[in-house]
Amino acid sequence: MISTGKQSPGTLAWILEKIHPYVDFFHLREKRWMNQEMVATIQLLISKGIPLEKIMINSRIEVAQSMHTHGVQLTHTADVGMVRKAYGSLYIGCSVHSLEGAVYADGHGADFLLYGHIFETQSKPGLKPRGLSSLKNVAQNTETPVIAIGGITPKNTPVVVEKGATGVAVLSGILLSDDPVKAAQKYRKTLDVKSLD
């Protein structure tokens, strides 16, 4: 699950306290926050019982290291190879938007690839989605786990997994839903059923 940039730290903590059993990782993607706000929010999440090993930080390597979170999620413009050399033990996710970018990140130390957007999504208005065949191509040409993002719903999650995604990333589908707990449970159930196939 990825934060939306539309909720306060208090709201995020309130929701995460209820849904973290159904979520593998929570990616704090708040690009407008200062480092101090990020650190304070991580401390708030910890106080609510959210395990550090479930928290990923967007691009701020120093925050991820100092707070001992699960790892860092790099943007597609960051050089994962340089980050891997400098921070050998850090768990690194890498956003990729092309096969070439995915192959580079795969060969230079990324622990997982966040690939999309797969379907039409409100967060990318007017931008053509990359689609399922593109996802399949990335998954078949890399060894690193691929997480699909963009317009992912419980209904289309099975086909995304069938095309090679190891998992899915969700923003508004959970955090902005009327019932975040119910929404998270639906995604979890769908993924668990697919993993048993």
Task: Find out whether 113 and 142 touch, Cβ atoms under 8 Å.
Answer: yes
Task: Find out whether 139 and 172 touch, Cβ atoms under 8 Å.
Answer: no
Is 68 a residue of the active site? no
Task: Look up residue 73 and give its DSSP letter.
Answer: E
CB atoms within 10 A of CB 2: 21
- Residue found by looking up tokens 């990616």 in the block: 27
Q: Cα-atom radius of gyration of the chain, to the nearest Å?
A: 16
Active-site pick, 20, 27, 70, 117 = 117
Task: Find out whether 68 and 52 touch, Cβ atoms under 8 Å.
Answer: yes
Report which of 180, 179, 157, 158 is spatially closest to residue 169, judged by C-alpha positions.
157
- Residue found by looking up tokens 């995915």 in the block: 102
> From CA 14, how far away is CA 18, in angstroms rounded?
7
Active-site positions read: 117
